[in-house]
């Protein structure tokens, strides 16, 4: 699979990017947040939970997904 194919797939499925790059399997609620991030109609996300469930990990994954998949050819952030 080419890098361009990976970028297209990761843009549509951030959970796949998490598995491919980090070897991690997101929890069910993390997978929901990652799927919401990929939807063009979802403009904001908010996380609220106790200490330790993986909020920071998900935010890091979302940051990596944005940096890797958004932008036109040659104009990635």
For the chain, the helix, strand and coil percentages under 3-state DSSP, each to the nearest 5: 60, 0, 40
Q: What does the pLDDT read at residue 18?
A: 96
pLDDT score for 44:
86
Question: What's the mean pLDDT when you consider all of the chain?
Answer: 88
Sign of the Cα torsion 51, 54, 59, 60 reads positive
Task: Give the tens place of pLDDT for each residue, 5-33.
Answer: 888 899 999 999 999 999 999 999 999 99
Please give the pLDDT value at position 76.
62
Determine the average pLDDT of the residues in 47-63.
86
């Amino acid at each position: 699979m080419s890098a361009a194919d990976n970028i297209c797939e990761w843009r549509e499925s951030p959970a796949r990017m998490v598995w491919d790059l980090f070897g991690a399997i997101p929890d069910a609620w993390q997978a929901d947040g990652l799927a919401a991030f990929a939807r063009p109609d979802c403009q904001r996300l908010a996380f609220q939970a106790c200490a330790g469930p993986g909020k920071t990990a998900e935010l890091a994954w979302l940051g990596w997904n944005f940096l890797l998949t958004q932008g036109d050819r040659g104009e990635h952030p």
